[in-house]
Amino acid sequence: MARARRKPAPGDGTEAAEETSFEQALERLETIVDRLEQGDLPLEESLAVFEEGVALTRRCAGELDTAERRIEELVRDGEKWLVRPFEAGADGPEVEE
């Protein structure tokens, strides 16, 4: 028998993850962790809060991945500067200041 999922109530802190900034999502995730660690939530509410936390975690991880791909580095090539995508762990040429 399928269980009905709890529909978030407006203003109860379970707004759609896409409607908040990264920083707000991270803050909400910290609140969720604190609430779950207290251990005083009823089972159904714990599950709903946990599901929200998983969604926020996935969203934040995705945003961090996107930001990582957007990072670029400046590389000097003779007299000019070139912009190229940053590759983690890649040894690029030394940049003189």
Give the CATH fold of the 21-90 domain. Answer: Helix Hairpins (1.10.287)
Q: Calculate the average pLDDT of the chain.
A: 78
Q: Domain locations in the chain?
A: 21-90
Number of other residues whose CB lies within 10 A of the CB of residue 70? 9
The pTM (predicted TM-score) of the whole model is 0.59
Q: Report the candidate in 36, 46, 49 with the shortest Cα–Cα distance to residue 8.
A: 49
Report the C-alpha gap between 92 and 73 in whole angstroms: 10
List, for residues 67-86, the tens digit of each pLDDT value.
Answer: 887 777 667 777 787 777 77
- pLDDT at residue 70 in the model: 78
- pLDDT at residue 20 in the model: 87
Residue 8 has pLDDT above 50, yes or no: no
The model's confidence at residue 21, banded by pLDDT at 50, 70 and 90, is: very high
- pLDDT at residue 12 in the model: 46
